[in-house]
Structure 1
Amino acid sequence: MNSLKLLLLCFFITPYAFSQITPEEKEALVAIYQATNGDNWNASWNMNDTAKNWYGVKIEDNKVVEINLEFNNLKGRLPDDIGNLIHLKKINLGFNKLSESIPTTIEKLTELKSLELFMNEFEGPIPTQIGALKQLETLKIYSNNLSGELPVELMELTNLKELLLGSNNFSGTIPVEIGALTKLKKLSLMNNQMVGEIPVELAQLTALEELLLSSNQFTGNLPLEFINLKNLNTIMVSGNKLSQEYISISGKKPEALMDLQSQNSTASMNPVNDQ
């Protein structure tokens, strides 16, 4: 009798005890698959298989912690359901054909450390809700069709180390609040439609190694305070409306920055892959 009771108990608890993820998380993954033409992905998912075997999905402690579907022919809109994957730490959907707006439900992904949506077709502004992602260290959304001004909420992400927003249609000025991003190592706003003077507050980013501001409509001069950026080894500001033309620098000391003027010269530089 005891053996029968134990057998019956195991029968009822096994589906839960060995469940890989919650129903909400699985439904969110299925929604992403369906909304982005999953049947035509380069590596699609077998809907009859468990989520742990789905390409690009990483599960730890029965929680979805990573989605990596780079170069996988995703096409369509990223659904709001992505906000139900509340344990995500990393999202990489680069080099796909995702369009429309970035869903505001990303504000629920408070454990997220890396958000990579580069080389897609996203439109509209950066959602202000992104300010809720306080643990975010990497934000790569370059080479999309995003527009509007940079939300001040973006400057609340004080753990950011990489902020790559190049090759979009962003307008407006660089918020002076950017000085709060003191951990930032890479900043790219190149190839947008941004205006105004380059704020002196950028000189507060003492960890900065790469500063890419070329091909905008910035005016004025580079702040003299930039000489305090001891870690800066790459700076690109050409293609603006600055008072003088600065040669692009890579691998040189920032102290030389203010003396570099060029009418028709081009400096050699190390390749810069991210934008």
Structure 2
Amino acid sequence: MKNLFTFVLTVLTSLTMMADVSFSDKAVLLKLYKATNGDNWTTKWDLSSPVSTWYGIKLEGDKVVSISLADNNLVGEIPSEIVNLVNLQELNLHKNGISGVIPSSLDNLKELKVLDLSFNKLSGAIPVSICEMDNLRNLELYMNRLSGELPAQIGKLQNLETLALFNNEIEGQIPNSLYEAKALKILLLNSNKLNGELSADISNLKSLENLSLFENNMEGQVPFGLEKLNNLKEMNISYNMFSGLISKKLAVLDTLNMTMLNNDGAVVLMDVSLDIERPLVSED
């Protein structure tokens, strides 16, 4: 019986060792390893071992479905071949030293649900192709050097729940299509160079729980429709140039109580009216 058990265990172990990733997927992983200085990663890959044993890699069958290499000292650029991993569901390279641009043909990654390239040194614009990633739920690109405008069709991401782009150099106005992304729960666009007005259509984002537009160049009236967002628990839209009147409810919800900048760049502390019938905030 002992010999039979040993034989079965040996066979199972052999089958496990034989089960490996497809040649094409492995080629992409090797390209990523080389392009991001894999020999100096915090946790390296043993290239002589099966891909299934490589740190941060998850397989389903012979296909790569997840790459999770956060805080692992990746330095270099993301190879364009990464978009050939068509079964990929998660790409998490958070907090590394990755530079260069985001690969342009991301629409090849139809199965991707999580794209986290935050806290790196990426530059350039957010690729328009990202709007074709229908299954995307989390898009986190914060703490980079991204510039240009938000893709006009970003609202096509109907399954998107988290959009975190803060601390970049993104400019222009918020695309109207963004207010059509009705699954959004977290929208963090603070510390960029956004301008223009906040559309009243933001009231369409019924699932929104956290809104941050802090430290941009936005102006105009704060939409009263924000009050209709019953799930909104956190908000910070201060240090913009919003003006006019705002409800007391929203003033209290804002982390900095609607602290704005006027046309001269001076800080304006908005007063909250104590009038219960007219719970408004103004600059007067």
Instruction: Report the TM range for the smaller structure's normalisation.
Output: 0.7 to 0.9
Equivalent position amino acid for 1:193 in 2: K
- The amino acid across from 1:213 in the alignment is L
> Who is 1:149 aligned against?
149
Q: SS at 1:73's partner residue?
A: coil
Match of 1:218, SS? strand
Structure 1 residue ranges, 4+ long, deviating more than 6 angstroms after superposition: none
Structure 2 equivalent of residue 271 of structure 1: none
Give the root-mean-square deviation of aligned CA atoms: 2.2
Q: CA offset at residue 199 of structure 1? A: 1.2
- Kept in 1, the 8 Å contact 2:237–2:258? The answer is no
Structure 1 residue 153, shift from structure 2 partner:
2.6
1:143 counterpart SS class? coil
**Quick check: 1:111 aligned with 2:104?**
no
- Residue 102 (structure 1) aligns with: 102
Indicate the larger mover: 255-264 or 115-124: 255-264
Correspondence for 1:193 = 193
Give, in angstroms, the shift of residue 81 of structure 1.
Answer: 1.1
Q: Aligned residues: percent identity?
A: 36
Retained in 1: the 8 A contact 2:197–2:221?
yes
Contact 1:45/1:54, CA 8 A, preserved across alignment: yes
TM-score (normalizing by structure 1): 0.84
Q: Residue 153 of structure 2: SS of its match in structure 1?
A: helix
Give the aligned partner of residue 250 of structure 2.
Answer: 257
Unpaired runs of 5+ residues, structure 2, are 1-13, 260-267, 271-284
SS in 1 for 2:122: strand
Is contact 2:153-2:175 (8 Å) kept?
A: no
Using the alignment, how far apart are the partners of 2:245 and 2:190 within structure 1? 16
CA-CA distance at 1:107 after TM superposition: 1.7
- Per-residue CA deviation, residues 42-76 of structure 1 (Å, 9 max, x unaligned), is 00111111111110001122211100000000010
Instruction: Answer yes or no: is the 8 Å Cα contact 1:129–1:153 preserved in 2.
Output: no
Q: Which residue of the partner structure matches residue 235 of structure 1?
A: 235
Counterpart of 1:221 in structure 2 is 221
**1:238–1:245 CA contact under 8 A, matched in 2:** no
Q: Which residue is 2:203 aligned to?
A: 203
Q: Does residue 129 of structure 2 align to residue 129 of structure 1?
A: yes
- Counterpart for residue 175 of structure 1: 175
**1:131 alignment partner, SS class:** helix
Query: Which 5+ residue runs of structure 1 have no aligned equivalent?
Result: 1-13, 247-253, 266-275
Do 1:102 and 1:122's aligned partners in 2 also have CA atoms closer than 8 Å? yes
